[in-house]
């Protein structure tokens, strides 16, 4: 859903360009390598929808945010895109929608990293995010609050919390936790505040002993979605976008 929205946005922006109006871009953008020894960083849009930052993050991870894809949907490219972290500060003089900000970040990467990508669609097994029988149990977010913070840890450090979350972005977030991509088919169009308390399967036993996967105490993500948010994951098939990197170069100093 998010990818479809980005393609729709791109079409609209190209339409504006055809009538002589410039595509939206960041007025000021700085990209530089991170200092050695830094802690694992973050990529996020800042409150106000005018600034995007990345702190100590490699290009591959930044791409997952800009193009709203999981890591498994990216292939190709030189090794350095996986392990050389960068600092990015990109600012616009005016506010934009979240979708526009994602598209602007993608254009910035394409310009500064000389990034060339081939987009492919592959029909694959997916999880469809749908409403459960009783309907959604979600708190609508205050539309006047333009902050889009990243997902954070849930209660007692378990699960997750989200604020100002659209369902298409929630599906993208779930895709990063599960073995398949998640497609939003809820029909919900608002932004929501949510808390989801769940535990993930533990790693395989170190001795390789057969048997059921180990589980920590607590509900699975499937159970938590139904009981806590009124949502459900259904097995389905659908188109999944894949990005094949054909070219990437380290950015020039700025």
Q: Render pLDDT for 136-148 as a digit per residue (tens, 0 to 9).
A: 999 999 988 888 8
Same structural domain for residues 138 and 84? no
Phi, psi at 85, each rounded to 5°: -80, 155
> What range defines the domain where residue 67 resides?
16-113
The pLDDT of residue 204 is 52
Decide if 30 is inside a domain: yes
161 compared with 2, residue with greater pLDDT: 161
Same structural domain for residues 144 and 177? yes
Domain count, the chain: 2
Decide if 184 is inside a domain: yes
At 40, is the pLDDT very low, low, confident or very high (cuts 50, 70, 90)? Answer: confident
DSSP H helices, the chain, are: 2-18, 59-66, 80-83, 98-112, 167-177, 221-224
Query: Would you say residue 1 has pLDDT above 50?
Result: no
The pLDDT of residue 208 is 53
Q: Render pLDDT for 48-93 as a digit per residue (tens, 0 to 9).
A: 889 999 999 999 999 999 999 999 999 999 999 999 999 999 999 9
Q: Dihedral (C-alpha) 42, 47, 49, 54: value to the nearest 10 degrees? A: -20
Q: Render pLDDT for 119-130 as a digit per residue (tens, 0 to 9).
A: 999 999 999 999
Decide if 225 is inside a domain: yes
The pLDDT of residue 155 is 79
Average pLDDT, the chain: 87
């Amino acid at each position: 859903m998010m990818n479809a929205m980005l393609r729709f946005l791109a079409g609209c922006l190209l339409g504006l360009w055809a009538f002589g109006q410039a595509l939206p871009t960041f007025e000021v953008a700085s990209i530089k390598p991170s200092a050695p020894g830094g802690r694992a960083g973050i990529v996020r849009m800042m409150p106000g929808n005018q600034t995007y930052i990345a702190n100590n993050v490699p290009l591959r991870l930044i791409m997952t945010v800009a193009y709203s894809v999981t890591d498994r949907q990216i292939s190709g490219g030189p090794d350095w895109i996986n392990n050389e972290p960068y600092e990015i500060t990109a600012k616009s003089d005016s506010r934009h929608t979240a979708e526009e900000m994602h598209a602007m970040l993608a254009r910035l990467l394409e310009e500064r990293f000389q990034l060339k990508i081939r987009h492919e669609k592959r029909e694959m097994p997916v999880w469809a995010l749908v409403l459960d029988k009783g309907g959604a149990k979600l708190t609508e977010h205050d539309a006047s609050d333009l902050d889009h913070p990243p997902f954070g840890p849930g209660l007692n450090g378990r699960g997750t919390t989200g604020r100002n979350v659209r369902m298409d972005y929630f599906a993208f977030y779930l895709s990063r936790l599960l073995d398949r991509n998640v497609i939003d088919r809820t029909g919900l169009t608002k932004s929501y505040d949510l808390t989801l308390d769940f535990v993930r399967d533990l790693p395989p036993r170190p001795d390789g002993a057969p048997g059921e996967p180990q589980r920590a105490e607590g509900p699975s993500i499937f159970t938590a979605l139904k009981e806590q948010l009124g949502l459900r994951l259904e097995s389905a098939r659908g188109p999944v976008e894949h990005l094949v990197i054909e070219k990437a170069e380290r950015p020039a100093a700025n």
